[in-house]
Chains A and B, each alone.
Chain A
Amino acid sequence: GQSLEQPSEVTAVEGAIVQINCTYQTSGFYGLSWYQQHDGGAPTFLSYNALDGLEETGRFSSFLSRSDSYGYLLLQELQMKDSASYFCAARGSGKSTFGDGTTLTVKP
């Protein structure tokens, strides 16, 4: 089976850095993805890690440690528009399993 754990809520102030952690238990693990979803919107892809290490895309970075079954999403220079839900998703054989999501609230 597959399961993922991520915090349900995180709050930070504008301009700060926030890290959203994700631990997973997945058979036949291929990689870890991150998605952003604004209220009423569709999830949109942010990043994917197949190998250990850090992937950087602008203000967002994602990290994976396969030996620890752990990853995180790092958001820098937070902006109000970053307030959204963030989901990690572990890809196993064919399908991906999503975590329950972390609601990020960015305050002025």
Chain B
Amino acid sequence: DVKVTQSSRYLVKRTGEKVFLECVQDMDHENMFWYRQDPGLGLRLIYFSYDVKMKEKGDIPEGYSVSREKKERFSLILESASTNQTSMYLCASRTLGDGKNIQYFGAGTRLSVL
């Protein structure tokens, strides 16, 4: 079974803090994604990565950055957290080799910025 692990289930930070959200997958998938999920807004793509050291902006990259130094790990960074970044953050990984475009999601990190 594919496993996508997010480092924290719940996180509380203060405005202005630098926040790191970590995601690790164990299936050697090429692609990894970071989404945020807010009520009524579905999943919105923040950043994605095709492979190691590669990254592409998604639909809402402002206020975020990412790092992918190793294939299994994709980190989301909030340089200076703000209250409007309070949300559920979901990480996903995908291989295109199965032809099914399946994204495997982690359990999510619920971030509260006070």
Q: How many residues of B contact A (CB 8 A)?
A: 25
Residue pair B101, A43 in contact (C-beta under 8 Å): no
Expressed in whole angstroms, the Cα–Cα distance for A41 and B99 within the complex equals: 25
A-binding segment of B12-20, B41-49, B63-71, B73-81: B41-49
User: Which residues on A sit within 8 Å (CB–CB) of B31?
Assistant: 94
Expressed in whole angstroms, the Cα–Cα distance for A44 and B106 within the complex equals: 10
Q: Is B111 an interface residue when CB atoms closer than 8 A count as contact?
A: no
Shortest distance from the beta carbon of B31 to any chain A beta carbon, whole Å: 8
Which A residues from 38 to 56 make CB contacts under 8 A with B? 41-45, 48, 50
0 or 1 for each of A75-108: is its CB under 8 Å from B? (1 = yes):
0000000000001010100111111110000000
Residue pair B101, A99 in contact (C-beta under 8 Å): no
Residue pair A91, B101 in contact (C-beta under 8 Å): yes
Nearest opposing residue in chain B for A1, CB measure: B59
Residue pair A95, B101 in contact (C-beta under 8 Å): no
Nearest opposing residue in chain A for B91, CB measure: A42
Residue pair B105, A94 in contact (C-beta under 8 Å): no
User: In the complex, which of the residues A50, A99, A101 has the most CB atoms of chain B within 10 Å of its own CB atom?
Assistant: A101
Contact partner of A45 (CB less than 8 A), chosen from B45, B56, B59, B104, is B104
Residue pair B56, A94 in contact (C-beta under 8 Å): yes
0 or 1 for each of B46-60: is its CB under 8 Å from A? (1 = yes):
001010000010110
Residue pair B59, A33 in contact (C-beta under 8 Å): no
Residue pair A96, B103 in contact (C-beta under 8 Å): yes
Residue pair A96, B101 in contact (C-beta under 8 Å): yes
| Residues A99 and B105 in contact in the complex (CB < 8 Å), given A43-B90, A48-B100, A94-B50 | no
Q: Is A30 an interface residue when CB atoms closer than 8 A count as contact?
A: yes
Q: Which residues in B have some Cβ–Cβ distance to A below 8 Å?
A: 31, 33, 35, 40-45, 48, 50, 56, 58-59, 90, 99-108
Q: Which residues in A have some Cβ–Cβ distance to B below 8 Å?
A: 8, 30-31, 33, 35, 41-45, 48, 50, 87, 89, 91, 94-101
